[in-house]
Structure 1
Amino acid sequence: MSIDVEAVRRQTRGVLSVTHLNNAGSSLVPGSVMDTVVGHLRREEEIGGYEAAEEAAVRLDEVYSSVARLVGAAPDEIALAESGSRAWAAAVYSFPFVPGTRVLIGRTEYAGNVVALRQLALRNGLEIAVLDDDPDGLVDVQHLQRELERGNVAMVALTHVPMANGLVNPAAEVGKRCRAAGVMFVLDACQSVGQMPLDVQSLGCDVLAGTGRKFLRGPRGTAFLYVRASVLERLEPAMLDGHSAVPTGAGGLEVRGDARRFESWETSAAGRLGLGRAVDYALALGLDAVQERVAGLAEEMRAELAEVPGVIVHDRGIIRCGIVTFSVQGSDARNIRSRLAEHRVNVSVAPSPFAWAYSIPTGTRQGEDMVVRASVHYYNTHTEVQRLVSFLR
């Protein structure tokens, strides 16, 4: 099944205004997603927030089923959240760490996750061990295996697709080894969900966090969390409210038995409905077709950029995705982003893959080198890729 690019562009109002190559930051939402969000906000305006939510109760509940289909889970293994980082943290902060145990992470782990893990390490007396990259820039599964065999590992935390350098980490192989070792595996899929098929059974992860605003093309302020049913009872949320637990007996407490224990009572019903619509939109297109289109456009961009004098493409990996990172000799990445924006071409900047030191135990960042990050989606076109390349020429 292939994607009807002209049809999805007609359904994407933003393409009339900008060449949007910042999908790894926040995609242009389809018109139907925005209509869903605004439509519910109108109902809140007309009849009240509680009443509008009650009216949409069935549709709100269906969002869990949609997200579950997206990642191959059961609806009661899904929680909805306001950001991918908060979803990830809700699960990780609930883990019953034992002082002296180790957490294994990759060198391209998302910076916010490392901050959280370091706080937990200081609080609980943990050791954070950084796994090597292999020659292709992927997390080294052989090093992972050696560290697992050393023992005393509480958790492995991995970013599936790093924020810059184009690669896709071998999450399924990591999951296989973690399962064999009986170690909790937490996967940050914020940059992979929506641009490639995901199946939590094949990935072998116990926890997966995803966001709505990036390749899933949902509204900002939306995200989800998957927690495998078999580990759910081990994870008591760090914070509870009347939605996630109820008081029992004389001083007792009963925490919800499903993943919604990680949610809070107050949230945006409009955002959740928009997230559900975005998920259904992606499922209707087919994630295999999405991945084929996105990967093809990204490879086209890399090839075109490599032909421009002074442009250096930094992407690594064996399987690569829609994120393309490059620099221009003698030019500052922020300046390039600003000048492109003047021509209504949206890109972003990111720390250079060779300057990342988020995971180095000293906690220092080596330099402030930045690269340009251009991230394509299936609604982008060859003409838009050429617009970027022509500007750089």
Structure 2
Amino acid sequence: MAIDVQAVRRQTRGVQNVTHLNNAGSSLVSRPVAETVMGHLRREEDIGGYEAAEEAADRLDNVYSSVARLIGAQPNEIALAESGSRAWGAAVYSFPFGAGTRVLIGRTEYSGNVVALRQLARRHDLEIVVLRDDPYGQVDVGHLQRELERGNVAMVALTHVPMANGLVNPAADVGRVCRAAGVMFVLDACQSVGQMPVDVESLGCDVLAGTGRKFLRGPRGTAFLYVRASVLEQLEPVMLDGHSAVPSGANGFEIRGDARRFESWETGVAGRLGLGRAVDYALSLGLDAVQERVAWLADLLRNALSAVPAVTVHDGGLTRCGIVTFSVRGSDAGTVRAKLAHHRINVSVAPLPLDEVISVPAGNPDAAVMVVRASVHYYNTEAEIQRLVRLLG
């Protein structure tokens, strides 16, 4: 079923103000999402925070079911968090790493994840191995297979859609070889959830982190974590409270048996309800239809940019998505972004991946080449894309 673009634009107030091509950063929320968040805040204003949460308890519980349905999981395998990085870290920091074991990552792994893994490597004497890219710029599954065969691998961590490249990594192939090797597979799906179908069984991941603010069009400060039920007991959270565990015996405690062991008691209920509404909105449109339109708009943008002599498009991969990265000869990325912002067109800038992301010197401003990142969503139009290209021509 095709998306009724004019209908979704009528439910998106922001399109009246800006041409928003920064959906990989934070999408424009829909009116139903905004009303859900503000409606709960008004209840907190009227009757009190705890009382409003109690009143919304069933709706809040339904958020777990909605997220589970979105990614093909079970509600007990879902935890909610305030950011994708916190969700990802809650699981990864809980893993029982053995000293001297190896962690395999992709060359386009999210920089925040790399920092976290460096800290864990320092704590646990880990070796971090950066997998090579294949000729298309995506993670080389053959190299992964050979590294797994070498043994002593504790975890494979992969970013599904890199932040500065339009490709989609072959996560299902990675999941297949990790499962065959019996190695934990952690997938950062923050840039893929909401712009394409994501199914944890097909992907074969043990852990998946997603965020609300990007292609799901949810509020900022919302995210979720999936942990496969069969690996849950391997991961003891690094911090517990009265929500994630209860006292047991004289000096003991008992950790929750579901993924909510990674949550804490205090949270922003309004945002979580907004996340649930955003997930339901995406499901109502159909993720296949979303992916079809997003991919079509992105290809339209890539082709139009490629026809501009001063522009170079940097996207790779066999499968591409809604993220389009490019540079303009004679102008740095920040200048291009500022020029477009002057015309009320929102884009962002992002670093191109280096040959070895793990060897980037800390604090070195010359360590990465910045490019412009335009990321489309289903509510964008051909006219908006044409306007961007005309300003660069």
- Please state which band the TM-score falls in when normalised by the shorter chain: over 0.9
8 Å Cα contact 2:313-2:324 kept in structure 1: yes
* TM-score between the two structures when normalised by the length of structure 2: 0.98
Q: Which residue of 1 aligns with 2:123?
A: 123
Match in the other structure for 1:73: 73
- Output the CA distance in 2 between the equivalents of 1:251 and 1:356: 50
Map 1:22-37 onto structure 2 (within 5 A): 22-37=22-37
1:179-198 matches, cutoff 5 A: 179-198=179-198
Distance in 2 separating the partners of 1:390 and 1:116: 41
In the TM superposition, residue 352 of structure 1 has moved relative to its aligned partner by 2.3
1:255-277 CA-to-partner distances (Å, cap 9, x unmatched) read: 00000000011000000000000
The question of whether the paired residues in 2 share the 8 Å contact of 1:130 and 1:360 is answered with no
- Partners of 2:17 and 2:59 lie apart in 1 by 32
| Residues 1:351 and 2:390 are matched in the alignment | no
Distance 1:362 1:301, change over 3 A: same
Which residue number in structure 1 is paired with residue 370 of structure 2? 370
Corresponding residue of 1:133: 133
Residue 326 (structure 1) aligned with residue 326 (structure 2): yes
The aligned residue for residue 387 of structure 1 is: 387
CA contact (8 A) 1:80 1:260 kept: yes
Whichever residue aligns with residue 358 of structure 2, its letter is: S
Are residue 20 (structure 1) and residue 23 (structure 2) matched?
no
SS at match of 2:359: coil
Partners of 1:38 and 1:187 lie apart in 2 by: 32
Cα distance in 2 for residues equivalent to 1:214 and 1:281? 14
C-alpha contact (below 8 Å) 2:157/2:187 kept by paired residues: yes
- Once the two structures are TM-superposed, the CA of residue 165 in structure 1 deviates from its matched residue by 1.2
Q: Write the distance in 1 (CA, Å) between the matches of 2:228 and 2:188.
A: 14
- Does residue 9 (structure 1) correspond to residue 26 (structure 2)? The answer is no
Question: Aligned partners of 2:369 and 2:192: how far apart in 1?
Answer: 25
Query: How much does 1:235 deviate?
Result: 0.2
What are the equivalent positions in structure 2 for 1:241-390 lying under 5 Å apart? 241-353=241-353, 355=354, 357-360=356-359, 367-390=367-390
Displacement of 1:368 after TM fit? 3.7
Q: Is the 8 A contact 1:212 1:219 kept in 2?
A: yes
d(CA) in 2 for partners of 1:317, 1:159: 14
Q: Is this contact kept in 2: 1:357–1:363, CA < 8 A?
A: no
Matched with 2:149 is: 149
Judge conservation of contact 1:358–1:364 (CA < 8 Å) in 2: no
Matches within 5 A, 1:151-190: 151-190=151-190
Distance 1:356 1:330 in 2: 24
CA contact (8 A) 2:175 2:205 kept: yes
Structure 1 gaps of 5+ residues are none
User: Distance in 1 between the 2:98 and 2:51 partners?
Assistant: 45
SS in 2 for 1:298: helix
Matches of 1:93 and 1:317 in 2, distance apart? Answer: 30
- Offset at 1:359? 2.5
Q: How many residues align?
A: 392
Contact 2:102 2:129 in 1 (8 A): yes
CA distance in 1, matches of 2:18, 2:163: 22
**Post-superposition offset of 1:364:** 7.9
Verify the 8 A CA contact 2:361 2:367 in the aligned structure 1.
no
Structure 2 counterpart SS, 1:336: helix
Aligned counterpart, 1:217: 217
Normalised by the size of structure 1, how large is the TM-score? Answer: 0.98
2:19–2:346 Cα contact (<8 Å) kept = yes
Secondary structure (helix, strand or coil) at the match of 1:218 reads coil
Amino acid at match of 1:64: Y
Matched residues, percent identical? 78
Q: Is the 8 A contact 2:130 2:356 kept in 1?
A: no
TM-superposed CA distance for 1:203, in Å, is: 0.3
Query: Distance between the aligned counterparts of 2:171 and 2:34, measured in 1?
Result: 32
Does the 8 A contact of 1:103 with 1:127 survive in 2?
yes
Whether the 8 Å contact between 1:108 and 1:356 is mirrored in structure 2 is: no
The residue matched to 2:58 in structure 1 has which SS? Answer: helix
Q: Say if 1:165 and 1:325, in contact at 8 Å, map to a contact too.
A: yes
CA drift of 1:4 comes to: 0.3
1:41 deviation in Å? 0.2
Q: Secondary structure at the match of 2:358?
A: coil
In the aligned structure 2, how far is the partner of 1:146 from the partner of 1:51? Answer: 56
| Contact persistence 1:227–1:259 (CA under 8 A) | yes
For each residue in 1:20-47, what CA deviation from the matched residue of structure 2 results, as whole angstroms up to 9, or x when unmatched?
Answer: 0000000000000000000000000000
Q: Decide whether the 8 Å contact of 2:311 with 2:327 is kept in 1.
A: yes
Inter-partner Cα distance in structure 2 for 1:57 and 1:185: 33
> Could you tell me how far 1:339 is from its partner in structure 2?
1.1
Aligned to 1:114: 114
RMSD: 1.1
Aligned equivalents of 1:95, 1:205: Cα separation in 2? 15
> How far off is 1:362 after superposition?
6.3
CA distance in structure 1 between the aligned counterparts of 2:373 and 2:361, rounded to whole angstroms? 27
Whether the 8 Å contact between 2:25 and 2:348 is mirrored in structure 1 is yes
